[in-house]
Amino acid sequence: MTQYVYGKNVVKQLLQEDKKIYEILMAEGMRDTALEKLIKEHKITCKILPRKKMDGMLQGNHQGIAAKIDDYKTYELLELLESIPKGKMPLFVMLDGLEDPHNLGAILRTCDCVGVDGVIIGKHRNVGLTPTVAKVSTGAIDTVKVAMVTNLAQSIKYLKKQGFWIVGTDFENSRDYREGQYDVPLVIVVGSEGFGISSLVKKNCDYCVRLPMEGVVTSLNASVACGILLYEIYNQRHPL
């Protein structure tokens, strides 16, 4: 199966990393000398289309360019475990019901920055690896392994048997995120934008953490909250 991904930075990175590209679509009137040079160097078929036609084909801000590539690969949970570098303290992020592709893309980008070993998402009620996710991730969709599992609760039980601690994110019955124990094999669970983590997943967490809220707003964007927590883990694991 193939798909179109779009955006100047996305296509440029695919070209620079010599990824397999079947064809490139470019809007009439678009001018980007550097991109055009890369396309010619890689000898990839480039079709010039009216911008309105591209608008109809692609959802989101394509910036006048798109590339046809293979669907993004997903992994089995066991493959994520086997890919953890020897001697590294493991860290996974599990997403429970996340629906916004912009949030998933931003989370993948942060995961790449802090060295997360993989992201685990459910096959149902979760956004998949879409072109919008690819665009927002700015390349991290290719560097951070993503496992799609049928049952998050069962996956948690399996990971516990492998020695992982499961830390949920929830405002009730939780501790300050700075009080978490992060020097162990860890899975951070982030819930959906509107409902948080499900009751069954929360039940299987070892404990939950929360971010302090001093103002009138009672929650943060899922990707922002995840980023803050991941950098606190990084800070504790890699102190100055």
Mean pLDDT along residues 219-226: 91
CA–CA distance, 84 with 71 (Å, rounded to integer): 24
Query: pLDDT digits over 156-195, tens only?
Result: 999 999 999 999 999 888 999 999 999 999 999 999 877 8
Instruction: Note whether 98 and 126 are within 8 A (CB).
Output: yes
Fold held by 77-237: Alpha/beta knot (3.40.1280)
Q: Calculate the average pLDDT of the chain.
A: 93
Q: Architecture of domain 2-70 in CATH?
A: 2-Layer Sandwich (3.30)
Q: What is the pLDDT of residue 173?
A: 87
pLDDT at 138: 86
User: How much is the pLDDT for 31?
Assistant: 86
Q: What is the pLDDT of residues 22-71, one digit of tens each?
A: 999 999 998 888 899 999 999 999 999 999 999 999 887 899 999 999 98
For the segment 128-139, the average pLDDT, to the nearest whole number, is: 89
Does residue 218 carry a pLDDT above 80?
no
Task: Give the start-to-end residue ranges of the domains of the chain.
Answer: 2-70, 77-237
* 94-126 per-position pLDDT tens digit: 999 999 999 999 999 999 999 999 999 998 878
